[in-house]
Structure 1
Amino acid sequence: MKHIQVKWLYLFILSIIWGSSFILIKKSLLGLTPYQLGSLRTVITAIFLLLVGYKKLKQINKKQWKWIALSGFIGSFIPAYLFAIAETEIDSSVTSILNSLVPLNTILLGFAVFRISSTRRQVLGVIVGFIGTAILILKGSELNPEQNYLYAGFVILSTVMYGLNVNIIKRHLQDVKPLAIASGNYIIIVIPALIILFLSDFFNTETFQNPHFKMSLVYVTILSFFGTALAKVLFNKLIQMSTPVFASSVTYIMPIVALIWGVLDGETFTPLQGFATIIILIGVYLSHQKSSNTIILGKQ
């Protein structure tokens, strides 16, 4: 009974942490540019992870480093900038809902790239999920004409990268400890992040004079420690104590937390957008359900 209670506690904590990440990005952007935010998030996370995981790097052999590097860039480095750029135009709550497409894109890429089989129910889930996405984006652009909803494409591209990253880790890094993977990712991507930070005029006097600068640093530090470094460790622990299916159910709760933060911050959210959210989450739910009617979309 105690073990069951602990896994639910982990799920709840992760939902709060990841659901709050989107409002932290929004607040960080008050005093930072998207490129400064993406770079700082990577650099600060690298410091946290390498302090506790540096010794784990020896577990990675030479052949695996190319996959570690690819995983780092598509699973952490590029999305950190894409999410920041997206939230310069669209609400944090909408961004969080679009992020729920990760499981659907994981299935699509698993079939298209890695030839992994899928079920009819999973295929239906993908279709339903993308219908909900279309409604959400179209209604959002109508409701907020001053916002450029083409920027939703940056979030969708990030979810594709996350889906590809999951498949890469599953196929090529299965025998590497999660902390070693994360530490390896960040020891590689921290250098280009520092270069971009330097080129973004972060060390310019005008940046430091921004009245929101100090609080933005606080927000991005919280985001890096809790939303990236700590969350990775907690999620891996949750998978170990439960199942991947149970752990992935955090996807259903995150948008609720993000929506609450968004509404509290003055973001508008209509009943139709709520309906679109439900459609997306139904699609995610269907994609995670097993069925005896399997469509062999690829090799077993």
Structure 2
Amino acid sequence: MKNTNVLAWGILVILSLVWGTSFILIKRGLEVYDAGEVGAIRILAACLFLVPVSIPRVRKLTSKQVKLLFLIGMVGTFGPAFFFAIGQTRLDSGITGVLNGLTPIFTLVIGALFFKQKFNKANYLGIVLAFIGTVVLLTAGSGGKFSEFNFYAFFVVLATACYGTNLNVIKYYLADLSPLVITSVSILLVGPLAGLYLVFGTDFSVTLATQPGAVKALGYVSLLGIMSTSLALILFNKLVQLTTPIFSSTVTYLIPIVALTWGVLDGEVVLIGHIIGVLAILLGVFINNRRKAKAANVKV
């Protein structure tokens, strides 16, 4: 039991560092490549890394499972990779990392709207707090003026909505498949699309050959794909197996701390409004997770 606890805490720390570092890696990639290139490189790197695992497994799946996994790949990996990159062209990496914390909220909302999950008063409170926190966070640098709201945040919010949809589809339609199969095969199915877009829809080859720092930026984004999109998902699934869902969800609170730390170290400014927004979002997520824990009779 002690060894299991140590392993669980070790995985939690690693996941927090890896996912929290994702946003600064996106920022480094965007210094050379455009958002579309960053998104495509990220997916392609993850796909190639997982080929030894995914190819043997895809052959054992039914056509229906393959179709669902393609949907998972598009909604849970392909779309968010591009949305985060687009959003971060106008958002600080630390702020993007905080907004990523909306994923559990959207998981709950989409589950209630489309998968017949039940809401309660605490859920509504958590959602309202998260919404208020988002607005405060994104108007913090403009004196709270909605006219100066950073609308690029909607791309990040859309990405978290995709994650929430993805988690519900997996829960209700693919529960019979192992997490490793879901992760590796879904990325395998969308990887070629990313490769085709990168080659024929962007100036990636020209940028790589002519722009200073292009090779280093390619390394940053490739690391993003391998670590954050591939290995981290496998580690997270392992964490879910070892612990309770509530313990696993703790990573939601740690990612923004790591992301904001990287942002500050990179010269990004954190205002009091940002701090208030962060706390409101995290409190909203906590309230919803707390209710789930009570419903499942799980100790936090």
> What is the deviation of 1:148?
7.4
Partner of 2:47: 46
- 1:115-170 CA-to-partner distances (Å, cap 9, x unmatched) read 1113322221111111111111111445999x971100000000111000000000
Using the size of structure 2 for normalisation, the TM-score is 0.92
Counterpart residue identity of residue 278, structure 1: L
Q: Alignment RMSD, CA only?
A: 2.0
Aligned to 2:289: 288
1:203 aligns with 2:209: no
Alpha-carbon distance between aligned partners in 1 of 2:260 and 2:188, rounded to the nearest angstrom: 33
Q: Check if 1:193 corresponds to 2:194.
A: yes
Counterpart of 1:58? 59
Is this contact kept in 1: 2:208–2:215, CA < 8 A? no
The offset of 1:30, in angstroms, is: 1.0
Equivalence for 1:297:
none
Any conservation in 1 of the 2:129–2:281 contact (CA below 8 Å)?
yes
Q: Shift in Å at residue 2 of structure 1?
A: 2.0
| Pairs aligned (count) | 292
Deviates more, 1:147-156 or 1:221-230: 147-156
Over 3 Å counting, the alpha-carbon distance change for 1:287 and 1:212 in structure 2 is same
AA aligned opposite 2:21: S
Report the Cα offset of residue 14 of structure 1.
Answer: 0.3
CA distance in structure 2 between the aligned counterparts of 1:143 and 1:122, rounded to whole angstroms:
26
Q: Which residue of 1 aligns with 2:262?
A: 261
Q: Residue deviations 1:70-108, cap 9 Å, x none? A: 111010001101111111111000101111000001100
CA positional deviation for 1:180: 1.0
SS at structure 2 position matched to 1:32: coil
Hey, what does 1:160 align to over in structure 2? 161
The offset of 1:59, in angstroms, is 4.1
Query: Residues of 2 paired with 1:261 and 1:56: CA distance?
Result: 37
Could you say what secondary structure the match of 2:44 adopts? helix
C-alpha separation between the residues in 1 aligned to 2:73 and 2:278? Answer: 29
- Alpha-carbon contact 2:93-2:259 (below 8 Å) kept: yes
Q: Which amino acid aligns with 2:57?
A: K
Equivalents in 2 of 1:195, 1:142: separation in Å? 43
Partner of 2:30: 29
Structure 1 letter corresponding to 2:117: I
2:298 maps to what in 1? Answer: none
Q: Give 1:291 shift.
A: 6.9
Partner of 1:249: 250
What secondary structure does 1:111 align onto?
A: helix
Q: List 4+ stretches of structure 1 deviating above 6 A.
A: 291-294
Q: Does 1:6 align with 2:7?
A: yes
Q: Which runs of 5+ in 2 are unaligned?
A: 296-300
Specify the alignment match of 2:76 in structure 1: 75
Is the Cα–Cα contact under 8 Å of residues 96 and 156 in structure 2 kept in the other structure?
Answer: yes
Name the CA distance, whole Å, in 2 between partners of 1:142 and 1:74.
35
Alpha-carbon distance between aligned partners in 2 of 1:55 and 1:67, rounded to the nearest angstrom = 18
CA distance in 2, matches of 1:278, 1:130: 12
Task: State the match for 2:95 in structure 1.
Answer: 94
User: What secondary structure, in the 3-state scheme, does the structure 1 residue paired with 2:204 have?
Assistant: coil
**Structure 1 residues 286, 144: closer, same or farther in 2, change over 3 A?**
same
Distance in 2, matches of 1:17 and 1:143, equals 32
Distance of 1:69 and 1:47 partners within structure 2: 16
**TM (normalized to structure 1)?**
0.92
Q: Please tell me the residue identity of whatever aligns with 1:234.
A: L
Q: Mean alpha-carbon deviation: is it higher for 148-157 or for 96-105?
A: 148-157
Cα deviation for residue 40 of structure 1 reads 0.8
For residues 291 and 50 of structure 1, do their structure 2 counterparts lie closer, same or farther at Cα, with a shift above 3 Å needed?
closer
Partner of residue 221, structure 2 = 220
Task: Provide, for residues 199-240 of structure 1, a one-character-per-residue CA deviation record: whole Å limited to 9, x for no partner.
Answer: 111122x44211120110110121111111110110000000
**Displacement of 1:274:** 0.6
C-alpha contact (below 8 Å) 2:139/2:149 kept by paired residues:
no
Higher mean C-alpha displacement, 212-221 vs 59-68: 59-68
Q: Confirm or deny: 8 A CA contact 1:59 1:180 kept in the other structure.
A: no
The answer on whether the counterparts of 1:111 and 1:117 sit within 8 Å (CA) in structure 2 is: yes
1:46 and 1:186 in contact (8 A); partners too? yes
